[in-house]
Structure formats: structure tokens, C-alpha cells
Amino acid sequence: MNIRPDPTFHASPKLAMEAPPESFAYTVLLSPDASKPDALAVIDVKPGSSTYSQIVHTVTMPNKGDEFHHFGWNACSSALSPLTGHAFLERRYLIIPGMRSSRIYIVDTKPDPTKAAIHKIIEPEEIFRKTGYSRPHTVHCGPEGIYISTLGGSGKEGTDGPPGVFIMDCETFEVLGRWELDRGPQQLHYDFWWNLPRDYMVTSEWALPPQFENGIVPEDLLSNKYGHRIHFWDLRARRNVQTIDLGANHQMALEVRPAHDPVREYGFLGVVVDTTNLEGSIWTWWREGGKFHIEKTATIPPEPAAKEQLPPLLQGFGAVPPLVSDIDLSMDDKFLYVACWGTGEMRQYDVREPRRPKLAGSVHIGGIARRTPHPNGKAFAGGPQMVEISRDGKRVYWTNSLYSTWDDQFYPDGVPGAMVMANAKPDGGLELASNYWVNFPDGYRAHQIRLDGGDCSTDSFCYPSV
Amino acid sequence: MSSADWTPAWLWLAVIASGLYHGVNPGMGWPLAVSAGLMERSPRALVAALGPLTAGHLLAMLLVLLPFALLVAIFEWQRTIQIGASVLVVAFGLFRLANRRHPRVLARISPAQLGLWSFAVALAHGAALMLVPIYLGLCRQAELDGGHVAAGTLINANLGMAMLVATVHAIAMVAAGGVCAWLAYRYLGLQFISQSWFNLDTTWALSLILVGAIALALNLS
């Protein structure tokens, strides 16, 4: 416990933007064939540093086959609400779930990121026993401690009972139990986030473990059996208050990005693919008159491609779907970044009018058919995937792998880990930085990125920007 | 004037000082008033949020003080009760010192229920309990002045004293908290929230022990 609040906690998104820029990025590394243990890479992102864009430290886990994907901090700016009673926590521990093993690692990043080390390991049995959930995924810190979403229910296949969210103590990291008291019609889970002062949570849907662990199931996709609904919850009452179906053809409603400024009661949702036309789409949800609404506000078309350019999975379609796998909203709520993992494009939308996103910038790199190289000449396998924006909105980082078995289906030639950075112009426009290229160790793929001091998909705020 | 004449003044000062102390502590809720004002873009919303925050604090004070108002009227138990109350305050301070965990149930209260939150947080942190020895001291002083009176009159006097102590404390609290909220809202900006927030858990626990110990010493002397 500190005597003063952690200097990386900010009352409003505006104060977070004015804070010093990031010095280190944390990126999780995955061994896709589980031949090596997964790891956490600490990357120097200080411009001008002699080790700029290089891995300066690696925390290697003691187990194999965890499958790292998303992760998060033990504490963030949400601690500055007196309601939570956690004002003196430190932003210090990274909570890293193993999505395949259901094991969770707690990594201590103090006293120095280059000396980060494992603090605690929570074995899968504890999670199964205390929550009845499996396959932990998204991590957020909030009023009752650390919230972790899961993709599986109990049982070997994770199909006995629905997946959901569980709570972990933010000081002892003890698993406390399920979050939901009344889940309503919710049966699938993926991402979640919230508006803390307005007291609601939003959750999305991917699929059940048999539909993703051994690869995408084309029959299930074409019969619209992946998730296509969004759920709205009373956060403190832990109750589902509204579920909206996007239409069954909108398959895989994944990332949820509410406006950072809590006075704004809207947010965005990315949908991977429309099975009627292979489009990817962006949806805007908002609250009005006590009810939630959502509409499709942007679509991204598929790109035709010759059969020999396509993996077997896509050859019948003669086209590459954009596959909107991740989205991220800048801290000032002005720009939404959309990763098109299939076509190999990072799009930047101006969302100052949230229900009318305007394409403001775009960068091509990788892609199933395009295979655009990096400006430094190096090949970028896969496509833009997990994206993270610096707090000041000037730098956008991303990696290239989606999920072990899915990578192999869409990119059969392999997806060696890559992480790049693009500079964003204040009024829109995106350009890849030719001097930022992270070399990852052989045999590893790169997934989510976290920035020291918080970033645009971790911190939630209790006070508006003024 | 003799030292005994000064005692009530010191005790009243303690009531006001503890109110100011609770008021300026962000943990007792003034940043929530700032948030309300900013969310609604209206200073009125800030002032309106101070209402339930104060009411909740006041109710918590009364809930703790009123039973003592009745108990202390039983004259032959008075000393026992005063010693018991002092020991209780010291014990709670020691408990807060040993157990640094935040009562998690508070996090379940919705941001819309500011009054309930303020009530619960004042009870959970022993803010109300801290007033008990001071209050009992004031009752005893009033009684010494008044001499022997009937139990019924005494209960009425004690209840009145409890209302007065809780109200004075709550006014001091809302004044201090209101000033902090207004400064942050109007002049100093949201940085003031983290800048003015110190981890007072240890000080708080020690304050409880100190208040209890002084009361105990006075009662035993």
C-alpha cells in the first residue's frame, strides 16, 4: 500500500493523456505448438534509447501449453473513486490468464520492468472449483476487485453451464467466485467493459471452447452458430438488464470499447464477419431513456483474391474477409482503430460523431492475399491483430497473431511474432514507423500488448474530462 | 476558570475537529460530489450530492450514539459504560490497524446510493465510534453542572446531546468536504483529488486508539 495514490492513476481520461508517455510495452508470447513455455516480453519503447523496440527482459513461465492471449493490470485509474475503497493500490501486477490451461499468472513488474518476475500462480483447479468457469480471458480492475471473463463453463470441454465473469481479490489475488447473480439469456462470453459512474457493464460473445480450441469450425460458422449478441448489465446488482441480438449472420461480436469519458454513454463493438457477404462491421451502442440501443455504423468489404492466394478454408469463396478481430478507442474518444486481420489493414476511424464513423487513416501490412511488407522491407506474416494505443493517442502498436489454431487455418505458412508501431496524426492519418520493429525469439507468436502506466484498453475513469 | 470549566470547550472542539477531519478525507466522499457536478455539468449537482453524503454520515453517528444516550442514563452503570465504550474504541482501532482489508461489501453499493454509501462507510471505518468517548464526556459534564435529576430528564438531555453532537459534527464535515469539492470543481481541477489523498489508514486507526485511550485514562483516574 502506498501513502499517496499511484501516480499512474488519473481521475479523468484527459489527465491520463497529459501524463508522461510510456517507456515499456509488455507483450505476451505464445508457443503455438506448446513445445516451449509461454512468456511475457518486456520491450523498450523509449525513443532514442539504445535498446529501442527491443526485448529487454523476458519472463518465461514454468508450464507449457497455457496459450496466452489477453491480460491486464491489478489496478488502474478506477481506484480513484472513493466508492471502491482501493485508492492506495499500486499498478504493479500483470494478471495473465492461460486461455487453454485455465491457469493464471500474477507477474510483479516492480521494482523495475526489466526485473519483472512471477509473483503467484493460480492453478486451474482453483478456478474450476470456485467459479465453475474455465478458459479465463479478459481482465479489468473495478469496484469489487479484479474482474476476469471466461470463455468456457465447467467440464472437460467447458460446455457444462455457460461461461461468465469471476472476481479476484485485488490484494491477495484469491479467486472469490462468480460475478453474475442473474445472467438472463447470456450463454456465451468474450469481452466486457463498463461505465463505472453510470454503473453498467457490457459483454460480448465469441463461442464455446469446442468451436475454437481446435480451430474455427466452418460448418458452425456458416450455420451462424457463433456468438452474435451483446449484453448489458447492472454492474453493482450483477444482473443482466438487456440483451440485443445483432442478427445471426453477424458472427463473433468480440471487442467492447466504451467511450473513456464516463459522461459519454456510448461505445463500439467489432463484429468479425457477416456470413451473408463476408463483411466486417463496426457497431455503435448507446443508452437513451434508460434503454440500450445498437446499430451497425461501418462496414468493411471483403477483397476478391485468386484461389491460389487463399488457404483451403477460403478457396470456395474466392475472397478474403477483412476479419475484424480487434478494435481500440483513443483516450480522447476521437479515433477508433480497427484491425482487419484477414485483409492486412489497420483502419483509423474518426468517431467524434459516434454513430457516423468516418475513415480517417489506413495502413496496409501483411494480409492473406496482399502480404504487404513493413516499410523496413521485412515480411509481416499474419495481419494487424491486437492493437494498443498510447495514452496520448500519438502511437499505435499492434501484433500479428490471432489464436494458435486459427492462425494455422488462415495463414498456413506460419505467423512468426511481429510487433509494429504507427504514428497517428492529431487530425487523422496513420503512418508506420520504419524504425520500430520487435524481433521475437524463434517459435513464438505475439498477442496482446500492455503499456506501463496504463493504455487505452485498461484504464476506466470515474470523472469526466473537462 | 478551573480546568473543569474548560473541558466542555475542548470536547466541543474535538467534535468539530473530527468533523473537519472526516470532511477533508477523500475517502469519506467529497470527490463523489465533484464527479456528480462534472457529470451533470452543473454546480447544483455537486451541492445536491453533498446532501446524501452528509445525511448518511449523520445517520451513522446517531445510530452509534443513541444507544449510549439511553445506557448512560442508568446512573450506577455509568462508569462501566464509559470504560466499556473506551475499550470498544481502542479495540476497533487495533482491529483497523491489524486488518487493512477494505470491507468489500461497500463496493456493492451503487453510485446512485450516495447516502447509503456514506452511512455504511462511516460505520465501517469507525468514524461514528470515534465520537462516542467525546459524547460521553459531554454528557458527564452536562450532568455535573445539572446535579442529580430524574432518569427520564436525563435520557431526554442525553438524546438531545446526541443529536447536537451528531449535527455539529456533520455540519463541520460537510463544510470541509464541500470546500474541498468546490475547490476541485471550480479552481484546482481533478488533479486535486489524487494530490489531496493520503493513505490515512494507519493515522485513522491510531486516532481511534488515542481517543479511546484518553477517555479510558480519564475514566479510571
Residue A15 is nearest to which of B31, B108, B190, comparing CB atoms?
B190
pLDDT at B146: 58
Q: For all residues of chain B together, what is the average pLDDT?
A: 88
Q: What is the pLDDT of residue B149?
A: 66
Q: Looking at the complex, does the CB of residue A192 fall below 8 Å from at least one CB of chain B?
A: no
Of A112, A111, A94, nearest to A39 (Cα)? Answer: A94
Lowest mean pLDDT among A175-179, B126-130, B163-167, B177-181: B126-130
Helix, coil or strand: residue A356: coil
Question: Any idea of the CA torsion for B215, B218, B220, B221, to the nearest 10 degrees?
Answer: 170
**pLDDT at residue number B139:** 83
Average pLDDT, chain A: 97
Q: Is residue B197 less than 8 Å (CB to CB) from chain A?
A: yes
Structural contact between residues A446 and A418, judged by C-beta atoms closer than 8 angstroms: yes
List the one residue out of A319, A303, A322, A300 whose CA is nearest residue A311.
Answer: A319
By C-alpha distance, the chain B residue nearest A195 is B111
pLDDT the model gives residue B109: 92
Residue B46's Cβ-side half-sphere holds a number of Cα atoms within 13 Å equal to 20
Least confident of A210-224, A433-447, B7-21, B71-85: B71-85
Query: Is the predicted pLDDT of residue A140 greater than 50, yes or no?
Result: yes
pLDDT at B3 over 90: no
- Residue A195 Cα distances to A263, A283, A328, B139, angstroms: 9, 18, 16, 48
φ, ψ (nearest 5 deg) of residue A457:
-125, 15
Closest CA of chain B from A57, distance in Å: 32
CB–CB contact A85 B102 (8 Å): yes
Residue B2 pLDDT exceeds 80: no
How many Å lie between the alpha carbon of B37 and the closest alpha carbon of chain A? 10
Q: Which residues contact A172 (CB under 8 A, 6 or more apart)?
A: none
Give yes or no for a contact between A368 and A431, defined as CB atoms under 8 angstroms apart.
no
pLDDT in tens, A74-121: 999 999 999 988 889 999 999 999 999 999 999 999 999 999 999 999
Which chain B residue shows the shortest CA-CA distance from A466?
B38
The DSSP bridge partners found for residue A269 are: A256, A283
Closest CA to A104 of A59, A145, A135, A131: A135
Cα(A358)–Cα(A351) distance, integer angstroms: 7
CA distance A292 to chain B (A): 19
Q: Note whether A236 contacts B: Cβ–Cβ < 8 A.
A: yes
Which residue has 459504560 as its cell numbers? B81
Per-residue pLDDT at B101 exceeds 80? no
| Shortest Cα distance, chain B CAs vs residue A153, angstroms | 25
CB contact B200 to A (< 8 Å): no
Percent of chain A with pLDDT over 90: 98
**Is B110 touching A (CB cutoff 8 A)?**
yes
With beta carbons less than 8 A apart as the criterion, state whether A162 and A183 touch: yes
Question: What are the C-alpha distances in Å from A260 to residues A18, A155, A198, A250, A425?
Answer: 15, 37, 12, 26, 20
pLDDT tens, B74-83?
A: 766 778 888 8
Give the model confidence (pLDDT) of A381-402 as tens digits.
999 999 999 999 999 999 999 9
Residue A177 has pLDDT above 60, yes or no: yes
Model pLDDT, residue B48: 96
> In chain B, what residues touch A3 (CB-CB under 8 Å)?
198-199
The percentage of chain A sitting over the pLDDT mark of 70, rounded to a whole number, equals 100
* Cα angle A356, A359, A363; round to 5: 155
As a residue count, chain A comes to 466
Query: Which of B39, B104, B107 is opposite residue A197, by nearest beta carbon?
Result: B39
Is pLDDT above 90 for A271?
yes
Picking from A3, A143, A463, the nearest residue to B38 by CB comes out as: A463
Mean pLDDT, residues B65-90: 84
Cβ distance B102 to A86 less than 8 Å, yes or no, reads yes
Going from the C-alpha of B169 to that of each of A305, B16, B51, B181, the distances in angstroms are 75, 5, 15, 18
Nearest-by-Cβ selection for B198 from A4, A12, A143: A4
- Region A125-146: what's the mean pLDDT? 97
Q: Please give the average per-residue pLDDT across A214-224, as a whole number.
A: 96
Instruction: Decide if B111 and A88 are in contact by the 8 Å CB cutoff.
Output: no
Decide if B106 contacts B41 (C-beta within 8 A): no
Say if the Cβ atoms of A145 and B107 lie within 8 Å: yes
CB atoms under 10 Å from CB of A15, counted, come to 23
HEC assignment per residue over chain B? CCHHHHHHHHHHHHHHHHHHHHHHCHHHCHHHHHHHHHHCCCHHHHHHHHHHHHHHHHHHHHHHHHHHHHHCCCHHHHHHHHHHHHHHHHHHHHHHHHCCCCCHHHHHCCCCCHHHHHHHHHHHCCCCCCHHHHHHHHHHHHHHHHCCCCHHHHHHHHHHHHHHHHHHHHHHHHHHHHHHHHHHHHHHCCHHHHHCCCCCHHHHHHHHHHHHHHHHHHHHC
Q: In what order do the strands lie in the sheet with A430-437?
A: A387-389, A395-399, A419-424, A430-437
The string of pLDDT tens digits covering residues A36-73 is 999 999 999 999 999 999 999 999 999 999 999 999 99
CB contact under 8 A, B39 and A83: no
For residue A179, pLDDT beyond 70: yes
Is there a contact between B101 and A171 if contact means CB atoms under 8 Å apart? yes
Residues of chain A with Cβ-Cβ distance to B109 below 8 Å are 83, 236
Q: Which ipTM did the prediction report? A: 0.89
Q: How far from chain centre, in Å, is Cα A265? A: 21
Give the N- to C-terminal CA distance of chain B in Å, as an integer.
Answer: 21
Cα separation, B91 vs B113, in Å, equals: 30
B108 touches chain A (CB under 8 A): yes
Of A80, A198, A466, the CB nearest to B194: A80
Give yes or no for residue B1 having a pLDDT over 50: no
* Euclidean distance between CA atoms B102 and A59, whole angstroms: 31
CA distance A24 to A44: 5
With CB atoms and an 8 Å threshold, state whether B31 touches A237.
no
Chain B residues near residue A143 by CB distance under 8 angstroms? 107-108
Backbone angles phi and psi of A49, in degrees to 5: -70, 150
Residue B127: pLDDT band (50, 70, 90) is confident
Question: What pLDDT does residue B145 have?
Answer: 64
Tell me: pLDDT of A202 over 90: yes
* Best mutation target, A83, A146, A239, to test chain B (most B CBs within 10 A): A83
Q: Does B176 contact chain A (CB < 8 Å)?
A: no
Q: Is A76 on the interface with B (CB under 8 A)?
A: no
Other C-beta atoms closer than 10 Å to the C-beta of B144 total 11
Cis peptide before A111 (omega within 30 of 0): yes
Which of B99, B102, B173, B191 should one mutate to test binding to chain A, selecting the residue with the greatest count of A CBs within 10 A? B102
Is the confidence at residue B71, as pLDDT, over 50? yes
